[in-house]
Amino acid sequence: GELTVRVTNLSEDTRGQDLMELFCPFSAVTCCHVAIDQKTSMSRGFGFVNFVSREDAQRAINTLNGYGYDNLILRVEWATPKPN
């Protein structure tokens, strides 16, 4: 299945396309999604990136966790599996 990484501490201006550009150098990224507040159209500060390979996802986590982006420090970790 797909491997999902959760990214938090994103700025309000960050969109899925920005995450794609940030994570693409590591590997095949299948999907990037940033949570958007429906009322304000601003980012809610977190998003998800789906990877094909566990090694690539782990490398992205190791490299980008704590990375300075848009004056904020990114937090990148494995997304918790959704309960059934």
Domain boundaries, the chain: 4-78
The stretch 40-51 carries a mean pLDDT of: 95
**Using one digit for the tens of pLDDT, what is the confidence trace for 25-36?**
887 888 999 999
Tell me the pairing of strands 3-8 and 75-78. antiparallel
Kindly report which listed range (5-14, 27-36, 71-80) carries the lowest average pLDDT score. 27-36
Instruction: Answer yes or no: are the C-beta atoms of 3 and 45 closer than 8 Å.
Output: no
Annotation: CATH topology of 4-78: Alpha-Beta Plaits (3.30.70)
Helix or strand holding residue 51 (H, E): strand 43-51
**pLDDT on residue 84:** 61
- What pTM does this model have? 0.88
